[in-house]
Copies of this chain bind each other. A is one copy, B any other.
Amino acid sequence: MKVVTIVGLGLIGGSIAKDLRKADPALTFIGVDKNAENDRLALQLNLVDSVLPLKEAVAASDLIFLAIPVTAIRQLLPHLLDIMPSQAVLIDLGSTKSQLCKAVEEHPNRQQFVAAHPIAGTENSGPAAALEGLYQGKMNIICEREKSSEEALATALQVFDTLGMNTIFMQPEDHDKQVAYISHLSHVSSFLLGLTVLDAEKDEKNIFTLAGSGFASTVRLAKSSPDMWAPIFEQNSQFLSQALSEYIFYLQRFQQYLQNNDQEKLYDMMKQANKIRPVLDGITQAAEAPAK
């Protein structure tokens, strides 16, 4: 493996480039981004050795990563499997998996593709947001492993191992349903909490003077990029809508108890929610675990 192309030079693609370049200085990295400013920044930050148009980059590559919005991945996937070298491996890093896998399920070169979702990120975006060690100790999911060739799968596993990730295997539908609850719903709740408070601020001047660390923590994801998240929500709309219905149901029930001054029921709901503590302690410990 000598030439690696990163399509999408943002937080996700840029962070992968940083770690893989460090791990193996012999590799050559080509960047592809339709935004010329991202190309310029990625070169300046030394994330890649050169930038090229997609077609040229792919023709020269042994390994290609797709780190672009999931709508763009869905469009590009069949085309890339058409034109890429027959020994090359294509890995997508999108946060949804069902529609992407479906887009290439009948493709004759399907075995060259590995459908992955490394669960890592921050609320920032663009090449300057790329972080060394972003993936260290985090989970990675590979879907439909049985549809990738042994060689492609081995290449992908080696990459994610180099990044310090723990890879598990799932089917696309299970993946999408689970991330609807565990990731996408968090983002929606945060975006709309931000919107609600920004709205309130129009009437209540200087409301943000009173904001503390709790507010900051809960609303942090409202800083996330709509370019990345609108496509994710679209592709996972069914499961996300189901998760939203359940969340709204709980909020309405809570509001009703509040209006009825039913202290006991309010208390019980919060006591139940407290059961999230050991789960969160586990996530924090995993994030703070030393490098392997």
Contact = CB atoms under 8 A, between A and B. Distances in A.
Give the number of copies in the complex.
Answer: 2
A229 B209 CA distance: 21
B247 A251 contact: yes
Interface SS of chain A: helix
Contacts of A56: none
Contact of A121 (B204, B214, B218, B275): B214
A141 B200 contact: no
B223 A221 contact: no
Contacts of A222: 273-274, 276
B210 A276 contact: no
A211 B121 CA distance: 12
A114 to B, nearest CB: 18
A46 interface: no
A280 B192 contact: no
Nearest to A190: B218
A83 B283 CA distance: 49
A282 interface: yes
Contacts of A186: 193, 214-215, 217-219
A64 B270 CA distance: 30
B196 A182 contact: no
Contacts of A76: none
27 contacts: A121-B213, A123-B214, A139-B210, A139-B212, A174-B204, A181-B196, A181-B207, A182-B208, A182-B215, A183-B214, A185-B193, A186-B215, A192-B269, A198-B276, A208-B279, A208-B283, A211-B279, A213-B283, A219-B276, A234-B261, A234-B263, A237-B261, A241-B259, A244-B254, A244-B255, A247-B251, A248-B251
